[in-house]
Amino acid sequence: MADEETFEGYVVDIACLRKYPQNALLSKARRHTLDCALMGHCVESGYGVVGDDGVARYLDSGATPKVLDVLKATRANRGIRLRVGRAFRDGQMHTDRVDELAPLP
pLDDT at 26: 97
* Measured CA angle at 100 (ends 98, 104), to 5 deg: 140
Largest CA distance in the chain: 39
Cα 11 from Cα 83, distance rounded (Å):
10
Decide: pTM greater than 0.85. yes
What are 53-98's pLDDT values in tens digits?
Answer: 999 999 999 999 999 999 999 999 999 999 999 999 988 889 999 9
Q: Please give the radius of gyration of the chain, using alpha carbons only, rounded to the nearest integer.
A: 13
Cα–chain center distance at 76: 14
pLDDT of residue 105 exceeding 80, the answer is no
**Distances, alpha carbon 80 to alpha carbons 2, 29, 34, 46, 90, in Å:** 26, 9, 8, 15, 30
